[in-house]
Structure 1
């Protein structure tokens, strides 16, 4: 009687496949674990770019791009901190000298204003945009407070020695996230190249207003968040570094707009504080953001508070807060006079923003004049 011959080849094949599968699972687990640890330590681990709606074709996106995009969203939801883990330290009264709000958390959430380490890269990077199903990030700032009262203030007559200002200051307006847009431009998840609705257009108008008063302004019209959103801060860092002055004070104004994920708690907050009444007209409110990882963070806070105080004197309620973001740079290491200014949000109509631009121009003139005349 013949013995049946064992299929040794088949056994080896299944053993090899089992080993390969276990290895892949181990590597995948290690990768996810390392990313989660980086997220907990506050490091920026964004792995995707934004596919903009204008001139884009989602069908051309490769399968691996889509997988990586959804993997990042899975990672965000898996390791997102609980709302209760965030605490705010804020002043009791805005009339006090300190108006800062600082976010403390055990983990760092996904954010629009990503942290960028200037010592890692100083050259602009451009990659092929990838697919993403949603690019709004919930609860970037955990702020819980009541809506500020509607206020009004008398209009101001502006008098400034432009020649003196131009001799002392290098005023630069730029946009790390230039495609950020306002209602009613909802396409592309409030991101657009249409300067009628985006923050590049806001920069255009403020620049034009300041120049009409004789103030020299260098408006950098780079779309630093397109086509690769992940490289926004690397790109804007490089752009700003090319126009710094060695003989003047560098006033660097990075204009953004606020926003929140739809139906999130932060969107509910924004809906309460998105506008204020100035001279019987509706204006979009603003915030200032300071990255506390900069070596000059104390000076940054001091100068942000100066702008806030000027705004409160001229148009009370226009600025909501000065927010300190732990572990962030935001390219503010270049100058003690670097401002990250959020003008309105996705909930604001462009008409409200345009009125805010008029008010901001007057505030900026006062702020610029004060800096120019301070040793």
Structure 2
């Protein structure tokens, strides 16, 4: 038996509203055409204004909310198309998404990693960070790549996600300077400056619609990998979000940034989908990223979130990571600084796991 979705109720509500509209129009037409009864007396039928009915029932607003809930459009570059902050579409099957609000109470959060206690960061004679006492990442092998070709793919399933500067457009923007493409560009620059080859995809997979974003990014990854089997490290860069009504909003705001070197920096987290056949390898990779971050910049990585469902396209590589840089409540400057440090963390991770 098919499980009833929220969209079914919304469609039923829209049908009821349409029926109500037709009835109101019919009454209005009838009353306007029958000003007198059959005996020639003035009719007692009240001429009902359709506009007044709409105003009384707030039909326009109701329909708008229903449509926005059914079709959460991500282009949201004007205030008529709204994706509610905190409404998260979880990926299902191979790139499909469930269009329903996600309850974060079922998330599993990993904050402490006992298996990497011996990992420390030291500086060499040139002041460059290196890793000492490096344990092998659990359930992960060294990555064999051609260092002369791109082996890191940075892409954005939800590219239009942005920060506090875009509050008037529901924290979304098509401008690369303000959205996740800009964050990815910073990370790409840091990685390349440290000798790593990167292919940064600037496609907005959440346009024209937020729905099926993961399906579109899945196609992009497959096409890229068909063109080059050297792309082994897959990084999907997002930012996090939380409803303003969340009872823990103040605590989340406090964790959304950290002071490092006198600068306010957006923190980051990693997300793992449990439905990938290689879930343990993906989780191991995420743990290693967090371990290096904890050693290099304590407090920068908030933790690893394991969702109750979804693949998030992570089944395409054991070295897949969904990285959320900051929240929508962070400033763009905080996010940019965070991206730089995440790039440094990933540099050390790659230095350690790439086969010589």
Aligned to 1:35: 5
Aligned CA RMSD, in angstroms, stands at: 3.8
- The answer as to whether partners of 1:165 and 1:215 remain within 8 angstroms in 2 is no
Whether 1:114 and 2:90 are equivalent positions in the alignment is yes
Rg larger in 1 or in 2? 2
Whether 1:272 and 2:254 are equivalent positions in the alignment is yes
Rounded to whole Å, the distance in 1 between the matches of 2:89 and 2:353 is: 26
Which of 222, 225, 239 matches 1:244? 225
Structure 1 249/174 Cα, relative in aligned 2: closer, same or farther at 3 Å?
Answer: closer
Structure 1 236/266 Cα, relative in aligned 2: closer, same or farther at 3 Å?
Answer: farther
Aligned to 1:8: none
SS in 2 for 1:173: strand
Deviation of 1:196 (Å):
2.1
Deviation of 1:238 (Å):
0.4
Which of 123, 138, 151 matches 1:170? 151
Structure 1 residue runs of 5 or longer lacking an equivalent are 1-29, 40-45, 62-68, 74-109, 122-134
Whether 1:212 and 2:212 are equivalent positions in the alignment is no
Whether 1:301 and 2:283 are equivalent positions in the alignment is yes
- The answer as to whether partners of 1:165 and 1:372 remain within 8 angstroms in 2 is no
Aligned to 1:194: 175
SS in 2 for 1:277: strand
TM-score, normalised via structure 1 length:
0.63
Aligned to 1:310: 292
Deviation of 1:274 (Å):
0.9
Structure 2 residue runs of 5 or longer lacking an equivalent are 10-68, 113-120, 132-143
Aligned to 2:352: 370
Aligned to 1:184: 165
Rounded to whole Å, the distance in 1 between the matches of 2:8 and 2:151 is: 37
Whether 1:331 and 2:301 are equivalent positions in the alignment is no
Deviation of 1:280 (Å):
2.5
Aligned to 1:282: 264
Rounded to whole Å, the distance in 2 between the matches of 1:314 and 1:371 is: 17
Aligned to 1:140: 104
How many residues were matched structurally? 270
- The answer as to whether partners of 1:175 and 1:236 remain within 8 angstroms in 2 is yes
- The answer as to whether partners of 2:150 and 2:199 remain within 8 angstroms in 1 is no
Whether 1:351 and 2:333 are equivalent positions in the alignment is yes
Rounded to whole Å, the distance in 1 between the matches of 2:4 and 2:100 is: 24
Structure 1 355/115 Cα, relative in aligned 2: closer, same or farther at 3 Å?
Answer: same
SS in 2 for 1:204: helix
Deviation of 1:203 (Å):
0.5
Deviations 1:243-301 (A, max 9, x none): 12675461000000011112222533321211112223221111100001110000011
Deviation of 1:323 (Å):
0.9
Deviation of 1:357 (Å):
1.7
Structure 1 138/346 Cα, relative in aligned 2: closer, same or farther at 3 Å?
Answer: farther
Moved over 4 A (4+): 36-39, 135-139, 141-145, 153-156
Whether 1:291 and 2:267 are equivalent positions in the alignment is no
Rounded to whole Å, the distance in 1 between the matches of 2:161 and 2:339 is: 16
Rounded to whole Å, the distance in 2 between the matches of 1:370 and 1:305 is: 14
Deviation of 1:136 (Å):
11
